[in-house]
Structure 1
Amino acid sequence: MKLLGAIFILLATTSIGFEYAKRLSERPRQLRQLRVAIQSLEAEMMYGLTPLAEASRHIAEQLPKPLSLFFMSFSERLSHYEQTAFDAWKESVDETWQRTSLLDSEREIMLQFGTTLGQHDRDQQQKQIKLTLAHLEREELEAKDRQTRYERMIKSLGFLSGLLIVVLML
């Protein structure tokens, strides 16, 4: 019976370590997807002259979850509710952010971008997009650095903490 309990403890702590490491590796991937999505939004708005709601829907169809949920929510809020672009953007961020592996710093970047969305002429809007992309690129580099430094350690820490608990219980 003790052996079965020890195995369960070891499996649980190891899976916690692997889950946290997965979240750490998801962050750079989601940041890269977010950058691509904003670049696509720029192309749709600047060169395709596509309305914001339709452009967001196109982007949502191209992205995997959870970022597709954000752009779909934004598109629906613009289409079905009479909201400003910023209100729809902010509510979509608030609604879907918990499903992502992104941090509060990226959330602030997205909210800052949302305040400028649809408020300026094309040139100024393009400058804001470039600024947002630069911020997201910086965050992506930092996320990759954290992933390479901590991912293996967190996996090992999950297993070793379970091993420590098992040893202390025996």
Structure 2
Amino acid sequence: MWLKILGSMLVITAGTSIGFSLASRYVERPRQIRQLISCLSALKSHINYAAVPLPEALSQCTCGVAGPVAEFFHTMSLLLANNGWLTPQAAMEQALKESKQLILNQPEREILAVFSANLGSMDQEEQVKSLELVHEQLARLQCEAERLCEQNVKMCRYLGICGGLAVVIILI
């Protein structure tokens, strides 16, 4: 009897934790896109006004940002600083592969890939225009991510709890 109760509570707890972890991914994505937009805006000002080298600008653009997005830009900065032969596009691809906690879907990754292909290969004015375009595209994706977050967070949490309860009911 007590073993069934204990097992049932463990199954419900596992289902709930799975639902809440899926919901946290929906919550985290808009926040990381906001941080990405903030870092790219800072990078635009470093490129436009300070005219510092790209690795230094990438490491300085994360002021006030912590977490996976800051680690991503620091990794990219280190890759460019340590490997002079590495292009910004290759550095960004490698940094995206190394950052495990960065929750970006394919559209954000494609935008960053196109942006990094243009980074460093154009003059200052064109890079600023490219950064503004990326900012607009990421802002649209942020609105979409927030909409998906509102729709799916409660659903994931409820499905986790209800899924655990359903498994318990089936097993008992």
The equivalent residue for 2:97 is 94
Unaligned runs of 5+ in 2: none
Q: May I ask how many residue pairs the two structures share in their alignment?
A: 169
8 A contact 1:53–1:75 mirrored in 2 = yes
Task: Report 1:107-118 matches (<5 A).
Answer: 107-118=109-120
Could you say what secondary structure the match of 1:62 adopts? coil
Alignment partners' CA distance in 1, 2:14 and 2:71 = 30
Residue by residue over 1:73-96, the C-alpha shift from the partner in whole angstroms, topping out at 9 and shown as x without a partner, is 111111111212222222112221
Alignment partners' CA distance in 2, 1:92 and 1:85 = 10
The equivalent residue for 2:71 is 69
Task: Report 1:124-163 matches (<5 A).
Answer: 124-163=126-165
Runs (4+) off by over 4 Å = none
1:57 Cα offset (Å): 1.1
Unaligned runs of 5+ in 1: none
Task: Report 1:2-81 matches (<5 A).
Answer: 2-81=4-83
- What is the TM-score of this pair, normalised by structure 1? 0.95
Could you say what secondary structure the match of 1:18 adopts? helix
Could you say what secondary structure the match of 1:102 adopts? coil
What RMSD, in angstroms, separates the aligned Cα atoms of the two structures?
Answer: 1.1
Deviates more, 1:72-81 or 1:158-167: 72-81
* Identity across matched positions, percent: 33
1:61 Cα offset (Å): 4.8
8 A contact 1:25–1:151 mirrored in 2 = yes
- What is the TM-score of this pair, normalised by structure 2? 0.94
